[in-house]
Every structure is written in structure tokens, then in C-alpha cells.
Amino acid sequence: MLGNGLGKILEDMVQRHNRFVDLFSGSASVAWHVSQKYRVETWAYDLQHYSACLAAAVIERDHSVDNQQLWASWKKRATQKVKKTCPLESSLVNVATVRKARSWGSEFDTCSLINAYAGHYYSPTQITWIDALRASLPENDTERKLALAALIMAASKCAASPGHTAQPFQPTETALKYIRISWQRDVCADVEHSLDLLAPRFAKLVGRAGVMNANEAAKILRPGDLAFIDPPYSAVQYSRFYHVLQAVALGTTSPVFGVGRYPVISERPASLYSQKSTSLNAIQDLLSTLAERGASAIVTFPDHKCSNGIDANAIKQIAKKLFTTRSRRVASTFSTLGGPASSTTGPRLARLPADEMILCLEPK
């Protein structure tokens, strides 16, 4: 959307405000964009740690980093840990080797990344490297944040799963080819590539990234702040789809279960925006708080009723009572986030075209 209307709206509004606060940071792409392009303090919040890690890698840094030196020393430390682990060889991928990989991983500590994901989302070699790199992060705070973000990005690219990490591919006749493709990826090469992308990026003014509920984060805003609101639109908790990246961010996980290798529900962040019974009240409370705090806001949302019960028009009607508003609609695409197949359109597509509403809200 940054190239399809949102970028111009940000250009118009950001420079008239003192601080930009992304309340649903997600992949951090909007926070990165604003912090690099404008001389304004950028803050980013999300319920999930992996999101805060991605945001921090850029918005909490005001200089570039020598990524080649960082990578050389980081990989050297991790290599020693990989050698001690001696990952199971998995060059040949078939039903038997996938099962053997899972059995190998089960011998490790139940809270380790290897136990949780070996033979599921990653090959034994891949998850051994991910685990070793996570345990060998640089001590320097700036470099550590950059390295962790690069590792999370690489883990996302390598995961043997259809788009998100809700469930890994299973060793069936049709899915084995996808496991082979994913397991052939070189984790180290993907980490190094991610470092190459991130290291030159930095904020014009150092900002802040954190893990916090959007409605709570809104309470710290003040007049002159511009909030960016891109809330969940699915009735399924987003933590279901990103639990592997969450574990990589934390470096550990509680014992996992099921085909998806999930931690227990109590340890997965839950959003009021992904529950039909609470979603509308949540967005109303958020906008009311921002109005009380005297902040401005940009809201983006699919221009149709979504599975969590919210629709763009309802948000617009709430906002009109609290702010001076203007809106714009743009074409976009959305992840189906594991939505069911349709009896009329057939199998579910990973992404679908849809219109997006962008609401610009200014204090009355």
C-alpha cells in the first residue's frame, strides 16, 4: 500500500506531527518507511515479540552497521555450536527421512527450537543453525537487534509451510516436493542476505519498539502525535500464524503439541481485535482514547465486512463522531490467513484482491 496511496498520505501527514506511532506494527514495513524517510521520532508496538524485534532493527538505530564484520564473527561463534550438535543429514527428503528427522529432534530439550521444529518446519541442519545463531547473537545492543531481525526474516523464508507458519507441510505424496524445496534453502545465506538489506537502513531520529496492546499503547500518546492503525481483520488469532517467528525471537518455546507444533494457548498472544464479540468495542475504545489524548491517526482496513465482525464503514462512523475525517479507497490484496475453501470459488487462494479504506483523522 505504500506505493498505492498510503505513501502519499504519510508524506502529507507525518511532517505535520512530532511523533509517528505504529500501534499494530506487524512486519514493521510502515515504521521502517517513516523512520528512514522523515525526521520524526518513530515508535512501534505489537502484541508479538517478533514484530518488535523487526521494528527495533531499524527504528532504534541512527547509523549504518558494518554487516560483513558482524556476520563473520557471529557465524564463527555459531559454527562451534553447530559442530557440537552434529545435525542429522537430510539431503534426501522422503517420508522415512522426515520421520527420522522428527525423531532426532525429539531427543532435545522440550523447550528448545530443535525439539519443536526439527523435521517439521525445518530440516535438522536448518533448525540447528537457527538455534545456534540465536544463541550466538552479538553482545553489542545495536548489532544484537540487527542480527535477531535478520534471523527472524531468514526463518520466515526457510519455513516449510504454506505462506505463514500455522502448520508445516506434511510428508504426503503431494507436499513432499515443497518440503524438499524449503529444506534446500541455506539458512546462513538467507541470514546474510537479510543483514545486507537491513544494515544500511536506519532512522533519521532514534525511535522505540516494544511489545504492548495497542489500546494500552494509545494511552501514552499526546497532542502532536500521529498514530498508524492497521488492526487485525481475521477472527483467528494472528499468533497462530506466527508462533514459529515468535519462538525464534524469544529463543525458546514451551513444549509444543499438534500438527502445527503450537505452544499452549495461554502462551500465545491474544488480541481483542480477533474475536467477534470484542473487536468492535476494541476499535471504538482505541479511537476514543486517541481523541481524548488529542492525537491524529491514519486507519487502514479492508473495505468489506471481515471475519472478525468489523467493516470499514463501521470504523468510519465511529471516527466521524470523534475526529475530523477524510477517507480514500485503494485497491490492494489480502492474505486469507487460513480461511476455508469456498463452495462457489473452489480451493482457498493465499491472497485475494480487495479494496482498502484509508481514513485520515484529525482532532476536532
Cell 470459488, residue? 345
CB 2 within 8 A of CB 30: yes
Candidate ranges 86-90, 158-162, 234-238; pick with highest mean pLDDT: 158-162
Q: What's the average model confidence in pLDDT over 55-73?
A: 97
Confidence of residue 99 (pLDDT cuts 50, 70, 90): very high
Cell of 212: 504492548
Cα–Cα distance measured from residue 172 to residue 162, given in angstroms and rounded to the nearest whole number: 14
Q: What is the pLDDT of residue 330?
A: 77
Distances (CA, A) of 257 to 50, 123, 182, 330: 21, 18, 22, 41
Longest dimension (CA), the chain: 65
* Other Cβ atoms within 10 Å of 3 Cβ, number: 7
Q: How confident is the model at residue 344 (pLDDT cuts 50, 70, 90)?
A: very low
State yes or no: pLDDT of 28 exceeds 70. yes
Distance of alpha carbon 156 from alpha carbon 190, whole angstroms: 10
The pLDDT assigned to 339 comes to 43
For position 2, what pLDDT does the model report?
76
Task: Determine the Cα–Cα distance for residues 221 and 293; give it in Å rounded to an integer.
Answer: 6
Q: What mean pLDDT comes out for the span 63-91?
A: 95
Query: Hey, what's the torsion of the CAs at 295, 296, 298, 301, to 10 degrees?
Result: 60
Q: How confident is the model at residue 333 (pLDDT cuts 50, 70, 90)?
A: low
Q: How confident is the model at residue 343 (pLDDT cuts 50, 70, 90)?
A: very low
pLDDT-above-90 percentage for the chain? 80
* Mean pLDDT across 251-260: 93
Q: What is the mean pLDDT of residues 103-125?
A: 97
Q: What's the rounded mean pLDDT across residues 111-140?
A: 97
Top-confidence residue, 306 or 218: 218
Asked whether the predicted pLDDT for residue 340 surpasses 50, the reply is no
Please compute the mean of the pLDDT values over residues 93-105 and round it to a whole number: 96
For 179, residues 6+ apart whose C-beta sits below 8 A from its C-beta are 93, 98, 160, 169, 171
Point out the least confidently predicted range of 148-162, 195-209, 334-348: 334-348
Q: What would the mean pLDDT of 178-184 be, rounded to a whole number?
A: 95
pLDDT of residue 20: 98
Mean per-residue pLDDT over the chain, rounded: 92
pLDDT, position 338: 46
Nearest to 325 by CA among 315, 333, 335: 315
| Residue 333, beta-bridge partner list | 353
- pLDDT for 347 beyond 70: no
Strand 41-46 and strand 208-211: pairing?
parallel
Domain residue ranges in the chain: 2-63+202-232+274-363, 67-198
Asked if residues 147 and 248 have their Cβ atoms less than 8 Å apart, the reply is no
Q: How far is CA 255 from CA 133, 247, 306, in A?
A: 21, 11, 33
Residue 349 above 50 pLDDT?
no
What is the structure's pLDDT at 341? Answer: 41
pLDDT at 58: 98
What local confidence, expressed as pLDDT, does residue 55 receive? 98
R_g of the chain computed on alpha carbons: 21
In this predicted structure, the answer to whether residue 84 has a pLDDT above a threshold of 80 is yes
User: In CATH, which superfamily holds the domain spanning 2-63+202-232+274-363?
Assistant: Vaccinia Virus protein VP39 (3.40.50.150)
Q: Phi/psi of residue 299, each to 5°?
A: -115, 130
Mean pLDDT of 301-308: 88
pLDDT level of residue 21 (50, 70, 90 thresholds):
very high
Distance CA 234, CA 1 (A): 19
**Residue 351 scores a pLDDT above 70:** no
Residue 137's identity, in one-letter code, is L
Report the C-alpha gap between 252 and 248 in whole angstroms: 7
| Residue in the block written with cell 511489545 | 211
Q: What is the DSSP letter of 184?
A: T
pLDDT of residue 14: 96
How much is the pTM? 0.91
**Rounded CA separation 155/153 (Å):** 5
For the chain, what is the total number of helices (H) and then of strands (E)? 14, 7
Per-residue pLDDT tens over the stretch 136-170: 999 999 999 999 999 999 999 999 998 788 899 99
